[in-house]
Amino acid sequence: MRLVIRNDADTVADYIAEYIKERINQFKPTAERPFVIGLPTGSSPIGVYKRLVRLCNEGKLSFKNVVSFNMDEYVGLPRDHPESYHSFMWNHLFKHIDIPPENVNILNGNAEDLQAECERYESKIQSYGGIELFMGGIGPDGHIAFNEPGSSLQSRTRVKTLAYETIIANARFFGGDVSKVPKLALTVGVGTVMDAREVVVIITGANKAIALAKCIEEGVNHMWTVSAIQTHPRSLVVCDDDATLELHVKTVRYFKSIEQVQDEMIGRENLGLYGQVAGPLKYKNIPSGN
Amino acid sequence: MESSSGSITQFYNCLVLKDHNLVKDYLYVQDGKIIDPAKMFWEEKRTPDVRIDCKGGIVAPGYIDVQINGAFGYDFSNDTDIIEEAVENISKGLLLQGCTAYCPTTVSSRPEVYHKVLPHLGPRKGSIENGAAVLGAHIEGPFISPQKKGAHELATLRTAKNGLSDFDECYGLENLRKYAAYVTMAPEVEGITDTISALIKETGISIASGHSNATTAQADEAFKKGANMITHLFNAMHPFHQRDPGIIGLLGASDSRPFYGIICDGIHVHPHSVMIAYYAHPNGACLVTDAMSAQSLPDGFYKLGEMDVDVHGGHVYIKGTNTIAGSIATLAECVRKFIKFTGASKVEALENATLHPAQMLGISDKKGTLTHGADADILILNQDLDVQRVFIAGVEATSNNVRFKQKL
């Protein structure tokens, strides 16, 4: 797992947007071989979406050959409800970019047979050969998608009952009325996210600090479902300084030092996207001394 | 799931007038209507076929003028023999100015004039071929006050002591039903207030109070009976007096208040009076030009109804008098002047020429709005509210595809 620490939410969004742009462009997607991306909703990704839109308008990025799968959707909320995740994705991303509508996948929370809808979703992901990069945010309780604490780390796409805390937290989007918040959602499972060839998680703000510490400093635990990324072969967590408040100083310094050492000794220009050294390992400044 | 075939146009790089705000957004049009783009994307799996760069401008509904007597040399009350030609050329000329819908207005006339012209002033769709949409006639008079006749001809004025039959005799009730949007009358004229309810019920038209010496009590009674508009506020009415503010007093009511037309050309109404009206009832303002045949023509002598008028330096007078007789303003000018006079926001000024007149006529689901399903009558304006581009029923109107002539 890589942990990249930036000063604030804006620079975190800069980093991730740039990263995703590079990943898509280096992938050189075509209609036959599209780049398959998993996408979240919520407050964390808004800044990233803004930047992806800007990159798209500047002609530096195209979603023409990108296929997207969203993480989750409420059950029973009309598609055109302002708080539906369809509306969220339309307003923050899809209406601004060149993604073909047929490439966009979001779970249908109004399907007659919800179970069948979840199975259809999983097999559609499989039909594209799986997800190349899954981007996610987390809740203060460390949940990824609607995989609330206690969710199986092997879980697949399914109907999920929302935790009481999530309902209270989301009431602000429904006029402060807890009774109006949908109690069920369809969500990809932790297993579905972890099957992606790469997982990128955005964690910003002091209110996510405990979750970040639980997820990366303690064991893999279904009460903090994002902790599953510890066993993922290619995962990246990008957080801001505020989110590191509950981490050990040692942890923060270690991950900061990785970037620092790379910068000083190898040079950022010699590093690949995953932090690997591109080409033969050459030191930029060999420490002198006898 | 219904699917559609028509080409979809997206307006981008613009501020869209939406929900009483200017919002950085897009606007989508298909088959002459404004469409819901989320439905297009999620259900029809479609993206826009044509994109229009608005260059950072404002996208607003087309202007609606509910009081205009003529323009480009034509006059709805005077050109009775060539009335179709008048409607055609005025509709096209107004369209190019950014006025996409209007009520052709007649001054007080003899019955034979109404029977002759009204059938040509009825509702007509807006299009490149037709020009601006016609919303039905605004019939001003002749049931108005002799004391407040303004530029109307005294000999034509009438009373309604026999009730509905007087209206039938004057206009023809069938003509009102089919061709009129609203009628301006004076509540204090004999028989009027007692007949308002029946007239509305019988014909479905709307009623405005105007050219009237009504006291506030009389105006209020007419309002309660259904006369829910005021014609050119301040002009041709009982002036404001502290113990009896006349029709103007309706703007000070604490419950419901009528819509009011106001001629914001800087001549008919003092800028401070515009400000007072705006403060009193901002959501009721409807900017009207009250333009006459010389609008867009050079200074000189013209006809208003059957009267000769003298047009010079932006003023219109009945020949040889100092009675003002209509304006030569465009609605686009009135919108800009409204901001200058009141300091109102662009949104408020634009809504005074779009949403409010549409609400006044009960057509705000189709006109004066950019809501989904409304007619795609659209203006692109710059930040100074100069009209840059005009679209009617989703098609751009230019001097190449909309040709009209002036009558000199």
In a domain, B106, yes or no: yes
- Is the pLDDT at A289 greater than 60, yes or no? no
Q: Are residues B120 and B260 in the same domain?
A: yes
Q: Tell me, what's the pLDDT at A280?
A: 60
**Residue A281: pLDDT band with limits 50, 70, 90:** low
Contacts of B46 in chain A (CB under 8 A): 101
Is the Cβ pair B45, A102 closer than 8 Å? yes
A251 touches chain B (CB under 8 A): no
Q: Are residues B151 and B82 in the same domain?
A: yes
In a domain, B329, yes or no: yes
B272 known member of a binding site:
no
Q: Tell me, what's the pLDDT at A84?
A: 96
Q: Domains along chain A?
A: 2-247 (3.40.50.1360), 249-290 (no CATH)
- In which residue ranges of chain B is pLDDT below 70? 1-4, 305
- Is the pLDDT at A287 greater than 60, yes or no? no
**What are the DSSP calls for B111-168, one per residue?**
HHHHHHHGGGSS-B--BTTTBSEE--EEEE-SSS-GGG-TTS-GGG----TTTHHHHH
- Just list the catalytic residues of B: 290
Q: Are residues B392 and B349 in the same domain?
A: no
- Is the pLDDT at A288 greater than 60, yes or no? no
Contacts of B37 in chain A (CB under 8 A): 90, 95
Contacts of A94 in chain B (CB under 8 A): 41
- Tens of pLDDT, residue by residue over A131-159, are 999 999 998 899 999 999 999 999 999 99
In a domain, B404, yes or no: no
B281 known member of a binding site:
no
Choosing among B42, B46, B49, which should be mutated to test the A contact, i.e. which has the most A CBs within 10 A?
B42
In angstroms, the Cα distances linking B185 to B114, B292, B307 are: 15, 20, 20
- Tens of pLDDT, residue by residue over B257-308, are 999 999 999 999 999 999 999 999 999 999 999 999 999 999 988 877 677 8
- Is the pLDDT at A63 greater than 90, yes or no? yes
Number of other CB atoms surrounding residue A184 within 10 Å: 16
Q: Which helix (H) or strand (E) holds A203?
A: strand A199-203
B130 known member of a binding site:
no
Q: Are residues B30 and B111 in the same domain?
A: no
Q: Which of B42, B44, B45 sits opposite A86 (nearest CB)?
A: B42
In a domain, B402, yes or no: no
What is this model's ipTM?
0.89
Cα end-to-end distance, chain A, whole Å: 35
- Is the pLDDT at A169 greater than 90, yes or no? no
Q: Are residues B278 and B187 in the same domain?
A: yes
What are the strands, taking DSSP E only, across B173-326?
A: 180-185, 206-209, 229-230, 259-263, 285-288, 300-304, 307-312, 315-318
Distance from CA of A121 to the nearest CA of B (A): 16
- Tens of pLDDT, residue by residue over A113-135, are 999 999 999 999 999 999 999 99
A87 touches chain B (CB under 8 A): yes
Q: Are residues B49 and B68 in the same domain?
A: no
Q: Tell me, what's the pLDDT at A285?
A: 58
What radius of gyration do chain A's Cα atoms show? 19
Q: Are residues B105 and B246 in the same domain?
A: yes
B47 touches chain A (CB under 8 A): yes
**Residue A263: pLDDT band with limits 50, 70, 90:** confident
Q: Are residues B238 and B169 in the same domain?
A: yes
In a domain, B115, yes or no: yes
Q: Are residues B44 and B71 in the same domain?
A: no
Q: Are residues B377 and B339 in the same domain?
A: no
Query: How wide is the angle at C-alpha A64 spanned by C-alphas A60 and A67, nearest 5°?
Result: 115
Q: Tell me, what's the pLDDT at A290?
A: 46
Distance from CA of A109 to the nearest CA of B (A): 14
In a domain, B318, yes or no: yes
* Number of structural domains in chain B: 2
Q: Are residues B346 and B375 in the same domain?
A: no
Q: Tell me, what's the pLDDT at A6?
A: 97
CATH of the domain at B192: 3.20.20.140
* Residues contacting residue A130 through CB under 8 Å, at least 6 positions apart: A36, A195, A196, A197
Domain housing B253 = 63-360
φ and ψ at residue B199, rounded to 5 degrees: -65, -40
Q: Which of A86, A94, A101 sits opposite B46 (nearest CB)?
A: A101
In a domain, B365, yes or no: no
CB B258 within 8 A of CB B235: no
CATH of the domain at B15: 2.30.40.10
In a domain, B295, yes or no: yes
Is the Cβ pair A102, B47 closer than 8 Å? no
- Is the pLDDT at A74 greater than 90, yes or no? yes
Q: Are residues B209 and B327 in the same domain?
A: yes
Q: Tell me, what's the pLDDT at A266?
A: 73
Q: Tell me, what's the pLDDT at A133?
A: 97
